[in-house]
Structure formats: structure tokens, C-alpha cells
């Protein structure tokens, strides 16, 4: 697995109105990568270099009833260790992201942060940002 670990530094969810309007509410998830830099992790066999990915995972509701933001860092290890310098150079020069890194980071963030945000939304009495399966009674 290319993601070796993560660290959340800020979680914020704000309810902007006390009255949630009836009807459909759209939710937009926006995982943003703010910075890439060289990172390292200490293992029993020594230090390993990787890429530290600073992120801001935002949730926006339309109509604007609430907003959420989770910030933190992920330590990413590319499949080929010699690509670390290439990925960092492309980011520093052009702010260009490696497509494999982007997919891995977005998928990891979605899997790790969705349950936490669902619990917070439940406690704040907000609609969930992901559809929850529901059973329906069918008449025949």
C-alpha cells in the first residue's frame, strides 16, 4: 500500500443555519492537495524517505446549510522509490501531480475521512455527505 500513514491536524464542521430547508440538498466533496514535500518515516530497519502530502478535504452543502474541512498530512511511498525526486521536482516546477499519487491519495482520504465526517454530521443533525442505503417497502 503506497500510503504509509496519516496525521489529521484540523477538523472543522460549521452549521450555518438552524433550519434545514426541505427538498434536495447537494453535497460537493473537494479533496485538495496543498503541498508536496520530502518526508521520512522511521522503521525498525532504518529511515525511509517518502512524499509528505498536505491536504485539505472540504465538504460544501448547497443550499449553504453547513461546511466542513479536514486538514492534515499523508506519507506516500511511490511504487518505484526512485520516482520520489521526479514527483517532487514536477510539483515544485509546475505544481503538476503524478496521476498515480493523486488517485491513491484521494481514495485513501475518502475511505478514512468519510466515517468520521458522517459521525460529526449525525451529531450536528446535518444531512450525510454520502448516500446511506435505505430499505423501501414495495407494494405489488
Cα separation, 35 vs 33, whole angstroms? 6
Beta strand pairing status for 26-43 and 3-15? unpaired
Which pLDDT tens digit goes with each residue over 71-115?
Answer: 999 999 888 888 888 889 899 999 888 888 899 999 999 999 999
Main-chain dihedrals φ then ψ at residue 45, nearest 5 degrees: -95, 0
pLDDT band (50, 70, 90) for residue 128? confident
List of residues 6+ apart from 102 with CB closer than 8 A: 33
End-to-end CA gap in the chain:
48
Q: What is the pTM of this model?
A: 0.84
Q: What is the pLDDT of residue 123?
A: 92
Helix or strand run (H / E) with residue 113: helix 99-123
Which pLDDT tens digit goes with each residue over 33-72?
Answer: 999 999 888 878 888 888 999 999 999 998 999 999 999 9
Distances (CA, A) of 56 to 23, 74, 109: 29, 11, 10
The number of residues making up the chain comes to: 140
- For residues 86 and 100, is the Cβ–Cβ distance under 8 A? no
Average pLDDT (27-35) is 92
Query: 3-class SS at 29?
Result: strand
Q: What is the pLDDT of residue 1?
A: 54
Torsion angle in degrees (nearest 10) through CA of 95, 60, 71, 17:
150
Main-chain dihedrals φ then ψ at residue 21, nearest 5 degrees: -70, 150
For residue 45, what is the DSSP state? Answer: T
Amino acid at each position: 500500500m503506497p500510503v504509509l500513514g496519516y496525521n489529521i491536524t484540523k477538523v472543522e464542521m460549521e452549521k450555518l443555519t438552524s433550519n434545514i430547508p426541505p427538498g434536495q440538498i447537494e453535497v460537493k466533496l473537494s479533496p485538495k492537495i496543498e503541498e508536496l514535500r520530502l518526508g521520512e518515516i522511521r522503521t525498525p530497519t532504518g529511515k525511509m524517505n517518502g512524499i509528505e502530502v498536505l491536504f485539505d478535504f472540504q465538504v460544501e452543502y448547497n443550499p449553504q446549510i453547513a461546511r466542513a474541512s479536514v486538514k492534515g498530512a499523508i506519507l506516500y511511498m511511490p511504487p518505484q522509490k526512485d520516482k520520489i525526486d521526479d514527483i517532487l521536482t514536477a510539483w515544485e516546477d509546475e505544481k503538476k501531480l503524478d496521476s498515480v499519487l493523486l488517485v491513491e491519495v484521494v481514495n485513501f482520504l475518502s475511505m478514512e475521512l468519510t466515517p468520521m465526517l458522517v459521525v460529526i454530521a449525525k451529531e450536528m443533525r446535518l444531512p450525510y455527505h454520502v448516500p446511506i442505503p435505505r430499505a423501501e417497502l414495495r407494494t405489488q
